[in-house]
């Protein structure tokens, strides 16, 4: 079986944008479960001759109160359960938010490698914005830009190193 890379993070940080870049055209499965909307997007990708499955956990959404916090909790649970490596994605423009802290708390308990990706680092000026994310406790944050296609190779080098 292919190793599984899960992308986790609160809504709007750019998970789906990165997912699409990493898998190219090869979208494999869209799974629906009744009740809580637990649509997971699975794709197949490869980097440096390693083939892997990628899960965009952002399809998990819950209606109602505390929707964002509950959604990210479920995403993190799913990733902790089934991933071999977790990409924890945050947003350089937004900075560290309470939902990011929530995800961090959960991922600490996972005995899985976590790679911290700071998305929306669209230019060199914004590179300074990654430092505050050291506070999340996952080591060196990797600045990327999904919309500009920057840093994705560096990110995948680190991710593949954990497989």
Minimum CB distance to ligand GDP, residue 17 (Å): 3
Helices (H), 24-116: 67-82, 98-109
Minimum CB distance to ligand GDP, residue 1 (Å): 25
- Residue/partner pairs of 46-52 with CB below 8 Å, 24 or more apart: 47/22, 47/153, 47/156, 47/157, 47/159, 47/160, 48/156, 48/157, 48/160, 50/3, 50/160, 50/163, 51/2, 52/2, 52/3, 52/4, 52/5, 52/163
Binding Mg ion by CB under 5 A: which of 9, 43, 45, 58? 58
Examine residue 143 and tell whether it contacts ligand GDP (CB under 6 A): no
Examine residue 120 and tell whether it contacts ligand GDP (CB under 6 A): yes
Examine residue 12 and tell whether it contacts ligand GDP (CB under 6 A): yes
Binding ligand GDP by CB under 6 A: which of 105, 147, 153, 154? 147
Q: Which two tokens stand for residue 49?
A: 């001759």
Q: Is 16 annotated as a binding residue?
A: yes
12 binds, among ligand GDP, Mg ion, none (CB under 5 to 8 A by kind): ligand GDP
141 binds, among ligand GDP, Mg ion, none (CB under 5 to 8 A by kind): none
| DSSP bridge pairs for 49 | none
| Contacting positions for ligand GDP (CB under 6 A) | 9, 11-17, 58, 119-120, 122, 145-148
């Amino acid at each position: 079986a292919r190793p599984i890379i899960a992308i986790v993070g609160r809504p709007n940080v750019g998970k789906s944008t990165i997912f699409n870049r990493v898998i190219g055209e090869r979208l494999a499965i869209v799974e629906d479960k009744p009740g809580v909307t637990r649509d997971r997007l699975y794709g197949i990708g490869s980097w440096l001759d390693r083939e892997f499955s990628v899960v965009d956990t952002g399809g998990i959404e819950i209606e109602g109160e505390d929707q964002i916090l509950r959604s990210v909790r479920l995403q993190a649970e799913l990733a902790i359960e089934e991933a071999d490596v977790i990409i924890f994605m945050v947003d350089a423009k937004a900075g560290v938010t309470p939902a990011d802290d929530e995800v961090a708390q959960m991922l600490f308990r996972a005995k899985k490698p976590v790679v911290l990706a700071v998305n929306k680092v669209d230019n060199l000026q914004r590179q300074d914005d990654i430092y505050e994310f050291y506070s999340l406790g996952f080591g060196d944050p990797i600045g990327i830009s999904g919309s500009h296609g920057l840093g994705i190779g560096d990110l995948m080098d680190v991710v593949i190193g954990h497989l």
